[in-house]
Amino acid sequence: MTAPDERAAPATAPAPAPVIATGLVHRYGETAALDGVDLSFAAGSSAAIIGPDGVGKSTLLGLLVGVRRLQQGEITVFGGNLRSRAVRDAVAPRVAYMPQGLGRNLYPSLSVAENVDFHARLFGLDAAARAARIDRLLRATGLDPFPDRLAGQLSGGMKQKLSLCCALVHDPDLLVLDEPTTGVDPLSRRQFWELIDDIRADRPAMTVIVATAYMDEAARFERVIAISDGRVVADGSLAEILAKTGAASLEDAYRGLGRAVGDAPPPAFVMPPRTTTGGPPAIEAEGLTRRFGAFTAVDHVSFRIETGEIFGFLGSNGCGKTTTMKMLTGLLAIDEGMATLLGRPVDAADLGVRLRVGYVSQSFSLWEELSVRDNLVLHARLYRVDEGRVAGLVDESLARFDLLDHADDLPGKLPLGIRQRLQLAAACLHRPEVLILDEPTSGVDPQARDDFWRHLAKLSRDDGVTIFVSTHFMNEAERCDRISLMHRGRVLAIGAPAELTRAAGTATLEDAFVLRLEEAGEGAPAGRAAAPAAEGPAAPPTEG
């Protein structure tokens, strides 16, 4: 028998996972957003959550941080059950949460420094600690030159960096981010994730959970969790998921996840080649300029878009894309230069031209209190469609844009991808010759984006519609016939995607774009801010 002093020391029990969720069920009416979800997250781990629009990603994250009330199931965070109000209050100082949407946790009327200071005060940091953390975080994010700039005047990328500063000001042990880079340009997205990597290197025990619509972002994480129809359909490393699906990339794997056994995933969308060229330009801009006070949002921009062409607008946040599009639609006046639309000078009072154009704004601009069908009926009447043709055109549009099953639904209850198809259907109802689309797929999942672009392909290739579209998705930019790269109000380059990639000597269009931005960022043009700002004086112009 072994003497007591010779016995081996008892093995130390492994520390419990800081986040454990079991049997989560969450319903909105008859719809199950989550349907029996079991997950746990180890200390210091990182996980990306992917899935179609409306499958419960945001619901799951909200439950994990305690901002949504549990309906069924259990969640423990740092050993405490979140059903207890006392536990939620106790773990809150160890948790950071960035909700979905640019700058959702910011106060637009407060400055950069004031926003961070306000969040630090919420967690009881004293004056010395607040000053030190504000200085450290603003330096780390590159926001230190702009402590006095109002949050409402920041570009999308800068807003998200400031949001991250506010989330990290109390040194959390759990960081939960809900689509933090949706609507953010590629360079800012890279900088955002490099910042997260640096923070994790300094705080290796911090657990990071992120929902994202970008598959290249999800592939960066140690673990990828795919959700479909409220259930976890894949959970593992990138290598494990690719091996399971036999796919070459996470985006290809995504298309097949959650489908019934034996069902082939839909093929990746490939844009048909353009077969007709020539003719007068549908859109032409020469020296187009727009100022808001001392700030020049669009700085002598020139381009020409051919009839039937898909022309992409790619640029940094706040570079002037939306302002340019609004000038072309007559929603904003032109300060200098000229622009023609369908051969006539742009004029807000020229109803004849405006009735030949369809426009989808960056924000959802339909009526939430009207059904899908009623929204289309209203748009037909706004565009002065003959009353005898309205019902037939609406039925045809519902069928063409795959909206028949949702005709009587309210837009607010629809997944984002379907809402965007509804906006496109409304913009096309009067058979326009030109479509102007401002980031129409921002925040939409890959399959829904493919579905959206199939409709654009038919409009362009079959109907000869000219499409002017802005985007932050590289695979969408690559589908365009030509693209314009824009930064700080100026056009850096125009050409076919493959031509611009070759000219930059890079492997991908994204690398070419980032290289152009970095080169342009070495010295800001005279009279412009040293970093992108929102397109407006005291606040960005609202979508119309």
Between 523 and 108, residue with greater pLDDT: 108
Percent of the chain with pLDDT over 70: 91
pTM > 0.85: no
> What confidence score (pLDDT) does residue 34 get?
94
The identity of residue 80, as a single letter, is G
Q: What is the CATH number of domain 282-368+415-520?
A: 3.40.50.300
pLDDT in tens, 102-132: 788 899 999 999 999 999 999 999 999 999 9
Task: Read off the pLDDT of residues 378-422 as tens digits, 9 standing for 90 and up.
Answer: 999 998 999 999 999 999 999 999 899 999 999 987 877 888 899
Task: Report the C-alpha gap between 151 and 160 in whole angstroms.
Answer: 10
Which stretch of DSSP H or E encloses residue 63?
Answer: helix 57-64
Q: What are phi and psi of 63, to 5 degrees?
A: -70, -40
Give pLDDT tens digits for 323-343.
Answer: 999 999 999 999 999 999 999
User: Which pLDDT score, from 0 to 100, does residue 266 have?
Assistant: 63
How are beta strands 80-81 and 231-236 bridged, if at all?
Answer: unpaired
Residue of 524 and 418 predicted with greater confidence:
418
The token pair that represents 314 in the structure block: 């790619």
Average pLDDT over residues 197-210: 92
Q: pLDDT grade, residue 444 (50/70/90)?
A: confident
Burial tier of 215 (Cβ tally within 10 Å: 0-12, 13-18, 19+): buried
pLDDT at position 279: 75
Chain mean pLDDT for the chain? 86
Residues 444 and 438: their CA atoms lie apart, in Å, by 14
In the chain, where does the domain assigned CATH 3.40.50.300 lie? 19-256, 282-368+415-520
* Residue 69, Cβ density class (10 Å: 0-12 exposed, 13-18 middle, ≥19 buried): exposed
Domain 19-256 CATH superfamily: P-loop containing nucleotide triphosphate hydrolases (3.40.50.300)
